[in-house]
Structure 1
Amino acid sequence: MFGRGKHPEAEILFVRDADVAVTALRRALADAGPEERPGLERAVALAERAAAATDTDVRARWVRERLAAVGYEGPADSIAAIKHLREAAPGLRLLSAVQLAKSAVAKDA
């Protein structure tokens, strides 16, 4: 998050590098002994699932995690949820918080 001037505005940048982890895990799996293979195969499957997530999936997960962290269980696009999101990410603009919340609701629909 980056701010400017007296009134910093936060933007959320979602970095997706699960494909790097998948590549590293596949290399490790190729060199693994029989005792390591089951765990590495499971790790590859989990990393592949993370790599397959869409941008909407990532944004929705971020919103749900922030709301769960404060114990909020209502609709992700409610006024209370927007307030919690902005508290979780100080400086997050109202418009950005609303867009992120709408992403989460759209994903859940």
Structure 2
Amino acid sequence: MTLFGQKKQEFAVLVVRDADEVAEAVDRALETAGPEERPGLERAAALLAAAQEATDGELRGSWARRQITEAGVEGPADSVRAVKALREAEPGLSLLQAVRLSKEAAALEDEEGRGRTA
């Protein structure tokens, strides 16, 4: 589809998931862990399990929120300043991609806000 002579740009942001390999390594370490190492490894295993359950949108939103925060942007994650910060942090992002990422970050903030008040 073309609009004003330009091709529609696809949304292509890659989410890398390597939690499986790390989780396996933690599980192997737990097999031989002493009592002083076990609590930390068990906590790491729980964190990895949570990361494995996260959706691609949640992972992208978390990444976007970190970039926005590191840029010192305060206020909503889907603000114009936040979108600009994302494009400066990752110059290869199109405007459409940055807007979508900022909306995913804002959705995470909304979910966390509802979780705190519920």
1:12-63 deviation digits (Å, cap 9, x = unpaired) = 3220111211111011101222222122112111221222211121011111
Q: CA deviation at 1:85?
A: 0.6
Q: CA deviation at 1:86?
A: 0.3
Q: Answer 1 or 2: higher relative contact order, Cα 8 Å, separation at least 6.
A: 1
TM-score (norm 1): 0.82
TM-score (norm 2): 0.76
Determine whether 1:57 maps to 2:58: yes
Q: 1 CA distance for matches of 2:36 and 2:81?
A: 49
- Return 5+ residue gaps in structure 1 as ranges: 1-10
User: Is the 1:22–1:44 Cα contact (8 Å) retained in structure 2?
Assistant: yes
User: Is the 2:61–2:104 Cα contact (8 Å) retained in structure 1?
Assistant: yes
Q: Which runs of 4+ in 1 moved over 4 A?
A: none
Aligned length: 99
- Return 5+ residue gaps in structure 2 as ranges: 1-11, 111-118
Q: CA RMSD in A?
A: 1.4
Q: 2 CA distance for matches of 1:67 and 1:82?
A: 8
Q: CA deviation at 1:101?
A: 1.0
Q: 2 CA distance for matches of 1:45 and 1:63?
A: 23
Q: CA deviation at 1:105?
A: 1.6
Q: 1 CA distance for matches of 2:37 and 2:84?
A: 46
Partner of 2:7: none
